[in-house]
A and B are shown apart, each in its own frame.
Chain A
Amino acid sequence: MSTNQAKKPRKNALVLFIHKLGSPPWFYNFTGKLIPWLWLLFGVLAAWGLYLGLVRAPADYLQGESFRIMYIHVPAAWMSMMIYGLMAVMGFIALVWRIRTMEILAMSSAPIGAAFTLAALISGSLWGRPTWGTYWVWDARLTSELVLLFLYFGVMSLYAAFDEPRKAARAAALLALVGLINLPIIHFSVNWWNTLHQPSSIGVTGSTIHPSMLWPLLIMAVATKFYYAANLLTRARLMLLEQDFRKSWARDAINGVAAPTTHGEPD
């Protein structure tokens, strides 16, 4: 072995993978192969979860049939918070290390998170009417979830307000980071204040839900993760194409020319 080879540091596989993700052509091609599988997994899991939740699970002894709204409401609410957290983390990475694909992933997360938040609010409101006798109350959990929706709208609007996408992403990432304060408020609101909303039924120590009702919920929770991943990557690829449409790799990708197998430096 020559001296030069001995001195050359070996990159570990994870670092190499992250480095490759920073290359737009590599990211575009890699995610293009991944997306159909993510949609397939989402479809299978969602069909299975909904079948178990809507058909097989017994009616709740207290709430009757209306508890079945849980199988869309709870995963949507979990996703609304998880996506916001991820968006802020990706935004932080984008701000510190200036990785463009991270900026794109953070900004692509916002509309998906907003959609889940809206779904959680609407389904929760429709669950509230037969359970509490009202569609809406201005209590801590509902209000803080509504604030989350406005935070998503704020991030999306701020990103759209700039002509230069990288400057826009940095400003929006900063807003996303500030809005992080709302996540613990949403989570602990049912413990900190008196609210109509019930406290968490699932915790780190276990669950108070019967397994026949719990499993469909967990399956739906996993299904929504695949939905997010597939939707996020679809949006990120599109955003890359729109930003790089004058670059040769983007035109080659559109025209069906095979992308280079080697990757460029992350930008």
Chain B
Amino acid sequence: MDHAPFIWTAYAASGLILLWTAIAPLLRQKRARRAIHLLDPGKPTNDSHS
């Protein structure tokens, strides 16, 4: 039995799950920053805190 498909699928699936878990809060943070900025539009947003 060729084991390569099992190995690569395991790494690809785990990698995607962990990648999404890392990226999801960053996308949510962008939306939150935009929403907070709308409440206080007088000042420019600065993404250095992200």
Contacts and interface: CB of A to CB of B under 8 A. Distances in A.
Interface of A: 28, 32, 64-66, 68-69, 72-73, 76, 111-112, 115-116, 118-119, 122-123, 126-127, 129-130, 227, 230-231, 234-235, 237-238, 241-242, 245-246, 250-251, 253-257
Nearest to B16: A119
11 contacts: A66-B6, A69-B11, A115-B21, A123-B11, A126-B6, A130-B3, A227-B22, A231-B21, A234-B25, A254-B45, A255-B46
A227 B48 CA distance: 21
Contacts of A227: 18, 22
A65 B40 contact: no
Interface string B1-44: 10110110111011001101110111011001101110110011
A66 B3 contact: yes
B36 A250 contact: yes
Given A69-B6, A231-B21, 19 more contacts: A119-B17, A122-B13, A122-B14, A126-B13, A127-B6, A234-B29, A235-B25, A237-B29, A238-B29, A245-B35, A253-B49, A254-B33, A254-B36, A254-B45, A254-B46, A255-B37, A255-B40, A255-B44, A256-B45
B10 A69 contact: yes
B29 A115 contact: no
Contacts of A112: 21
A119 B18 contact: yes
Contacts of A32: 49
Contacts of A255: 37, 40, 43-46
Nearest to B22: A231
Contacts of A72: 10-11, 14
A64 B7 CA distance: 11
A73 B13 CA distance: 11
